[in-house]
Chains A and B, each alone.
Chain A
Amino acid sequence: MLKIANLSKSFGTHKVIKNVSLTVGSEIRVVLGLNGCGKSTMLKIVAGILASDNGKILIDKRDVTALPPEDRHVGYVPQQASLFKHLSVRENIRYCLRNGRGAEADIDQLVEMLKIENVLDKKPEALSGGFQSRVSLARTLASQPHVMLMDEPLSDLDLAIKEKLIPEFRKVLKKLGIPVLYVTHDLSEAQLLGDRFSCMIEGVLSDADSAEKAFGLIRESISDYDLHGPAQHQLRN
Chain B
Amino acid sequence: MTPVIELDGLEVRLGGRPILKKLAATLAGRSIGLLGPNGAGKSTLLNTLLGFHKPSSGAARVLGLDVRTRAREVRGLVGYMPENDAFIASMSGVRFVRMMAELAGLPPEQALERAHEAFFYVGLGEVRYRPLGSYSLGMKQAAKLAQAIAHGPKLLFLDEPTNGLDPPARVRMIQLIQEIRDRGDLHLILSSHLLRDVEECCDQVLILKDGSIAAYCNLEEERRANLRFLELETRGASNGCFLEALEKLGCQTAQGAQGRIKVVLPEGLELRSLYAVAAEQQVQIRRLNHKRDSLEDIFLKAMEGPDGRL
Instruction: Note whether A and B form a binding pair.
Output: no
User: What is the interface of chain B, defined by CB distance below 8 A to chain A?
Assistant: none
